[in-house]
Each structure stands twice: as C-alpha cells, then as structure tokens.
Amino acid sequence: MNLAVWVERNARRWPDRPAIAVGEDVHADWSSSATRVAALAGGFRHQLGLRPGDRVAIVMRNRPEYLEALFAIWHAGLVAVPVNARLHRDEVAYVLEQSAARVVIVDDDHDELATLADDIDTLDTCIVAPDQRWTELASASAMPITDRRPSDAAWLFFTSGTTGRPKGATLTHRNLLMMSLSYFADIDAITADDAVLLAAPISHGAGLYALPHVARGAVSVVPASGGVDGGEIADVLRRWSGVSFFAAPTMVKRLASDPAILDADLSGLKTIIYGGAPMYLADLTEALDVFGPRLAQIYGQGETPMTITALSKADHADRAHPRWGERMQSVGIARTDVEVRVVDEDGAEVPVGEIGEIVVRGDVVMSGYWEQPGATADTIRDGWLHTGDVGSFDDDGFLTLRDRSKDLIISGGMNIYPREVEEALLRHDDVAAVSVVGRPDPEWGEAVVAFVVAVDAEQPPTVEQLDQLCLEHIARYKRPKDYRFVATLPTNNYGKVLKRELREQLSDER
Ligand code: AMP
C-alpha cells in the first residue's frame, strides 16, 4: 500500500476538518490538503518529468509545505529524502549525491542550495517552496495515487550508522506502516480530535511520528517559530486538544522549567514522546512532576524507525512499583512488532542480565542502506539488525542501554559522529592527530570536546582557526565546545585511540 492513501481517505471522511495548522491557525483542511497533494504529485511527474522510484530531497525548516511535499512525493510514487536542515552545504551535497536525488525542495532559508544543481550531475533542479514554481506545481492536474508495493522505498533516512559517512537507511512503505501501527499498539490510540505538534525536526523523529497521526486524521501543527518555545506550546495547548509531540530529552528538560509551561493549562496535552538519547532520572522525575503521567519513552534508530522498545505512559505512572527508578532508567520493553535480543560477538543470545549488543528483527527494520550492499551486509546479519548499542534485559523484559559500541555523541538531541568533526580538524596543517569525544553536559546531554595533538607543540593551531575549519566544512552544532591541546593520544596495541580513556579523563575532572 502507498502511505498517501491516508490523505485521500481523510479528505473523504473529514473534508472540512483541519489537516495542517501553523500554531493556532488552520493552514489547510483535509479536502484542500488532498487536492494540493494530488496536484503537486501531478506536477512532480508531468512538469518535472519524474518517474516512480526517483528520489526527491527536502531541505526545509518545519513548515506546512514540508508535509505537503512528503505526501505528494509518495502520491506520485517517488522516494522522499528528508535532509537535516542544519547540515552544512557540503554535507547536504553529499546526501544528494548518495541518493542521486533528481530534485531538491528547499525553503527560502536554503535557497542558496539552488546552485547545487550545477555541481551535481544527477540533480536536475532545486524548487523553492513556496514560490512561483511551487505554485505552478501545485496547480498541475491532479493525478491518481501511484501503486506502490510494500517493499518499495518511501523515505531514505540518512544516518551515519556505526561507522563512516552518512548512509541512507531505506525505509519502505511497509516499514513506515508497521511503525505507525505499533505506535497505536504501544504508545497511544489516536483519533481525528487529536493533534501532533511538530516541534522537533520533521526530517527526523517528529516527521516519522506525524505519520500515525495523519493515518487517523489528527491535525499536524507546525509551530509558527519552527522550533520549540514554551510560550508557543502553551498557546497550541489552548487551541488544540489531544496534543502529542516528540522531543529530545534536553528539550523536555528545558520545557519542564519554562515559566510559560509551568503556568499553562496542560489539559490539552496528551503525550510527550521522548527518546533519541538517555534522560537522567532526576530530570525525568522533574518532568513527570510538571507534565504528569503524559510521558512515554521510545528507543529506536533510523534503521528501525522509532521502534525497538518503549517505556509506556503507564510504566511512568506506576511510581509505587518497587523497581520504578530502575525502570525509568531503562528504555522499556520490546515493541509489539519486533523481536529484540541481546547477543554476544558470535550473534548468540546471552542470558537475562548479561550485557551484549542489541539486535532487532521485524517488518519495521529497513530493507538496507541505499545502494550500499556492503554496509547493509555488515549491519543486517542473518536477518537481524545490529544496532551498535549495548544493553541488557532484566527478568521482566525491560531493556537497559549500557553503552554505545559506536562513538556517537548526542548533543541537544542531535547525533554527532566524532569522525566528521575529526576530519574537519585534520584539514589544518598544524594538526598531527585529533580525537573527538562527548562530555556529559547538564544542558545538552553531551558536549563535543576535541583532543588535539599539534605538529609542533610550541606552535599549536589557534582555537579560532579550528573553529573556522569546522564552520567551513560541517554543521555549526557539531563544532567542539572545548579544545584540549595534548602531547599524545592514548592508544592500544594496534594504535587505535582509546576514546574511553579520554572520556574518563573528562569525567575525572568533573
Ligand atoms: P538515530 O538513528 O539518529 O535515531 O539515532 C539512534 C541512536 O540514538 C540509537 O542507536 C541510540 O544509540 C540512541 N538512542 C535512541 N533512543 C534512545 C533512548 N531512548 N535512550 C538512549 N539512547 C537512545
């Protein structure tokens, strides 16, 4: 099935009910939304000459056109490539090349990307939404929904996986359907009276979790500021009922102490789904005090979108349970639609309580990395997705993450792969070696710290020069918050840098 049928179905059932809103204002009802989606799809196919299976990238901040583009891409049988809008131009170019996207849709904040069409052979054109070209596309003749098989690609979710440069986790229509159905099974039932607030980036968790809401006819609310602001959320809660939103733990923590939220009437708030990074128990307890039993945690990754385990609202509310504290530090129990195991290095399941790598199998797991058979074979072995995360189950089936076998840093809910930062810093002629790690940070979860070995210890590069290199080559949020100039980096017998030692050094300082 093609996920775009949801929009068409909602238009028949609830033509006049709101489909998309910006803050408190309705942007489109289901009828006009479906009309626009079908026309845009016609425009993509007949004006732009795209064929089923072609990739269309989206680089936009959260705005109504994002959702319209996404569903129009599916309606037309195309594959969406939602790109993190905060990436550096070179990083965006890399994703466009890897996915061989023929079209990129951007907003006016990203219109400088238009010149990429000159640099990238496979890229035909850049469309700025909403401008005249977009309006022309939206005025094309509506086309019927293109048939899609469950195994056809719908969304290429670019992630760095366990190693190296970003790869496109190929999420099929079936994967996203399973993700949506298991939301109903494990998180919440949703009705057309509900709303989903798209506070976090649509290119990531917020966009994925918009889907179960669209499936049930709930309204998608884009914050007018495009981000998360306590005052704005309070306004949204006054205007809309049954509001759910996905947020990184750092956002939840910030909101829990926001005066506008503390004063707000939270009766319109249904659920805050947090995940993507660990949440400290003290922060979670404080958030529960503020929001009440409206928090659910999910553990997932791009390769198995938003769906490995969940800690339900009921688990959060069960404070009388003798192991409540322990459970709140776990990531919950396996989702309905997946099998989750903890395995040793040979892939054999380890007993309850023992630590090993977390592997997942089920219909939500990606079909593979786009055009990367080698990386796919390394990650999906014997039908099991190897997450790169390390954890253990308890007797009741609650999974606790113990470590990340990959060196991923999660700062402010954004994933930062140390290697990308290291490569930017190594461009400096005066840098001999560098290793980047995360340091626990009360505000951001983790902060990026770079250990730098200078070619000449007497004349190390300056922090300004290193910062400048980062600004030139990687997204701003990946830039180290702290540089440490050291004589050598700790290494093992094979010469591999012992990041764990660097992390320990930082935590000893604390
Ligand atoms: P991404 O593919 O960008 O969604 O990142 C996925 C990674 O984020 C996972 O492999 C975990 O390492 C981490 N992660 C996701 N959810 C949680 C969670 N609830 N608690 C701790 N870490 C998480």
Does the pLDDT of residue 492 top 80, yes or no?
no
What homologous superfamily is domain 408-509 in, according to CATH? ANL, C-terminal domain (3.30.300.30)
Contact 450, 502 (CB under 8 A): no
Distance 91 CA to ligand 1 centre (A): 21
For ligand 1, is residue 278 a contact (CB within 6 Å)? yes
Contact 245, 218 (CB under 8 A): no
Quick: pLDDT tens for 476-488.
999 999 999 999 9
Q: Virtual CA dihedral for 87, 90, 96, 98, nearest 10 degrees?
A: -110
- Per-chain mean pLDDT for the chain: 94
Mutate to test the pocket of ligand 1, among 167, 299, 329 (most ligand atoms within 8 A of CB): 299
State mean pLDDT over 404-426: 83
Q: Which residues pair with 343 in a beta bridge?
A: 349, 357
Tell which residue, 97, 76, 93, 84, has the closest CA to residue 371. 97
Contact 227, 199 (CB under 8 A): yes
Distance 423 CA to ligand 1 centre (A): 23
Sign of CA dihedral 391, 393, 394, 397: positive
State mean pLDDT over 299-323: 97
> How many Å is the maximal CA-CA distance in the chain?
72
The pTM for the full model equals: 0.89
Contact 315, 332 (CB under 8 A): yes
Sequence letter at residue 400: T
Contact 448, 411 (CB under 8 A): yes
Residue nearest atom 9 of ligand 1, based on CA coordinates: 301
Sequence letter at residue 417: Y
CA distance 407 to 394: 25
Quick: pLDDT tens for 22-53.
999 999 999 999 999 999 999 999 999 999 99
Where are the extended beta strands (E) located within 261-343? 269-275, 295-301, 304-311, 333-334, 338-343
For ligand 1, is residue 415 a contact (CB within 6 Å)? yes
Where are the extended beta strands (E) located within 290-424? 295-301, 304-311, 333-334, 338-343, 356-362, 368-369, 380-381, 384-393, 399-404, 409-411, 414-416
Place of tokens 């113990």: 402
Does the pLDDT of residue 180 top 90, yes or no?
yes
Contact 127, 117 (CB under 8 A): no
Residue nearest atom 5 of ligand 1, based on CA coordinates: 301
Quick: pLDDT tens for 118-140.
999 999 999 999 999 999 999 99
Place of tokens 């803050």: 23
Token pair of 181, please? 């159905």
Does the pLDDT of residue 494 top 70, yes or no?
no
Residue-wise DSSP of 364-377: TS-SEETT-HHHHH
What pLDDT is attached to residue 320? 96
Distance 111 CA to ligand 1 centre (A): 31
* Burial label, 69 (beta-carbon count in 10 A; 0-12, 13-18, 19+): buried
- Which numbered atom of ligand 1 lies nearest the CA of 279? 20
Pairing of strands 269-275, 243-247: parallel
For the chain, what's the residue count? 510
CA distance 449 to 157: 27
Confidence band of 508 (pLDDT split at 50, 70, 90): confident
What pLDDT is attached to residue 352? 97
CA distance 69 to 71: 6
CB proximity list for 458: less than 8 A, separation 6 or greater:
none
Confidence band of 270 (pLDDT split at 50, 70, 90): very high
CA distance 195 to 218: 5
Does the pLDDT of residue 417 top 60, yes or no?
yes
Contact 257, 380 (CB under 8 A): no
Token pair of 327, please? 């459970």
Does the pLDDT of residue 266 top 90, yes or no?
yes
Residue nearest atom 14 of ligand 1, based on CA coordinates: 276
CA distance 12 to 407: 48
- Whether residue 130 is preceded by a cis peptide bond, meaning omega within 30 degrees of 0, is yes
- Which numbered atom of ligand 1 lies nearest the CA of 415? 3
Pairing of strands 380-381, 384-393: antiparallel
What pLDDT is attached to residue 95? 97
Place of tokens 């390769």: 303
CA distance 204 to 201: 6
Distance 237 CA to ligand 1 centre (A): 28
| SS3 at position 342 | strand
Does the pLDDT of residue 507 top 90, yes or no?
no
- Out of 302-311, 465-474, 485-494, pick the least confident: 485-494
| Enclosing H/E stretch for 123 | none
Instruction: Report the CATH architecture of 6-16+28-148.
Output: 3-Layer(aba) Sandwich (3.40)
CA distance 449 to 485: 11
Residue-wise DSSP of 86-123: TS-HHHHHHHHHHHT-SEEEE-GGGGGGGGHHHH-TT-
CA distance 227 to 211: 19
**Residue 152 DSSP code:** S
Place of tokens 């990429």: 116
Quick: pLDDT tens for 450-464.
999 999 999 999 999
State mean pLDDT over 53-75: 97
Does the pLDDT of residue 406 top 70, yes or no?
no
For ligand 1, is residue 391 a contact (CB within 6 Å)? no
Domain regions of the chain by residue span: 6-16+28-148, 408-509
pLDDT above 70 coverage of the chain, percent: 97
Confidence band of 171 (pLDDT split at 50, 70, 90): very high
CA distance 308 to 98: 27
Confidence band of 290 (pLDDT split at 50, 70, 90): very high
Token pair of 241, please? 């009922």
Does the pLDDT of residue 414 top 90, yes or no?
no
N-to-C CA span, the chain: 53
Q: Virtual CA dihedral for 94, 96, 100, 105, nearest 10 degrees?
A: 180
